[in-house]
Structure 1
Amino acid sequence: MERFTISLSDELAADFDRWIEARGYNNRSEAVRDLLRKEIETRRLDQDQTLYSVATFSFVYNHHERNLAERVTHLQHEAHDLVVSSMRVHLDHNDCLETLFLRGLTQQIRTLTEKLAAETGIRHSALNLIPVKIAELHYAHHAHFHPHS
């Protein structure tokens, strides 16, 4: 493990210590490692340098929208190798929140979620991508990282 030293103003160090305590870190090193990982992963995602990801994609829709449920289900079936699971919550008489749990090639996840978000009737959506190395997916021998035919 490599060590390095940084200098902080007293005010910044105090703010950082409060931030660490509020989040439950045991020490500054763990907090700095997490901050660095997050920043590096964010940059890789922004620059399309992340090959594989796990993700959640959540969207709100009116379940009375004509054929929307069928269209959404069809897109999920077309991407069955990406969609691990889904969960739906009924928000009120008209609206539902659905969350998809995804894993696979980052670009394929982005493509699927962009198609879903563009469906008429889907009003709000959010994608949360988490970059991973393929060995971390623990299912490499089951993975089908090729276009669906």
Structure 2
Amino acid sequence: MTITIYKLESTLERFTISLSDELAADFDQWIEARGYSNRSEAVRDLLRKEVETKRLNQDQTIYSVATFSFVYNHHERNLAERVTGHQHQAHDLVVSTMHVHLDHDDCLETLFLRGLTQQIRDFADKLSAETGVRHSALNLIPVKVAALHYAHHAHFHPHS
């Protein structure tokens, strides 16, 4: 399966906005702190984020890739087994996992997920609700699924 991030613009359109001196100064500090070279790119990134957030909230048939990270105490009664069980039940969503031992008791797990946005959210909610799971965070990125076959050098490569 090949995936690409939505491309929101194909041509650029110029427009003007007016800001108070205080808001403009705050925005310029924000731009500098994040390393943007100009206001335009910063505004484009902010708009993209808002558009994607709205799309994710309104259209649950959108495909997404995601990271879901959480901390848990591996000594919690059968929690590690329950977490692993949820991952196996959702094997169609879970692409990969990374497990980090934070200390003697706590582990950080990051899951890389791919699928329908609502299914990813439901899965993350189920894991977050497990007793002993804490500090969970889901980061969704909407994508469109490209063709499963494409041409290179006049011959085809199947992809799954």
TM-score by length of 1: 0.81
Counterpart secondary structure, 1:93:
coil
In 2, Cα distance between the equivalents of 1:8 and 1:111?
A: 40
Tell me, yes or no, if the aligned pair for 1:61 and 1:121 is still in contact at 8 Å: yes
Unpaired runs of 5+ residues, structure 1, are 143-149
**1:6 counterpart = 2:17:** yes
Residue correspondences, number: 139
In 2, Cα distance between the equivalents of 1:88 and 1:77?
A: 15
Instruction: Note the aligned Cα RMSD (angstroms).
Output: 2.1
Shift of the 110–3 alpha-carbon distance from structure 1 to 2, 3 Å rule, reads same
Structure with greater helix share of residues: 1
C-alpha deviation, 1:60, in angstroms: 1.4
TM-score by length of 2: 0.76
C-alpha deviation, 1:45, in angstroms: 2.6
Counterpart secondary structure, 2:13:
coil
1:75 to 71, 86, 91: 86
Indicate the percent of aligned positions where both proteins have the same amino acid: 85
Structure with greater strand share of residues: 2
Q: Return the structure number with greater relative CO, CA threshold 8 A, min gap 6.
A: 2
Tell me, yes or no, if the aligned pair for 1:52 and 1:104 is still in contact at 8 Å: yes
1:110 to 104, 118, 121: 121
Unpaired runs of 5+ residues, structure 2, are 1-11, 148-158
Q: How does 1:24-103 map to 2 (within 5 A)?
A: 24-49=35-60, 51-103=62-114
Residue 10 of structure 1 aligns with an amino acid whose one-letter code is D
In 2, Cα distance between the equivalents of 1:120 and 1:96?
A: 14
Tell me, yes or no, if the aligned pair for 1:83 and 1:102 is still in contact at 8 Å: yes
Tell me, yes or no, if the aligned pair for 1:59 and 1:126 is still in contact at 8 Å: yes
Tell me, yes or no, if the aligned pair for 2:60 and 2:116 is still in contact at 8 Å: no
C-alpha deviation, 1:134, in angstroms: 2.4
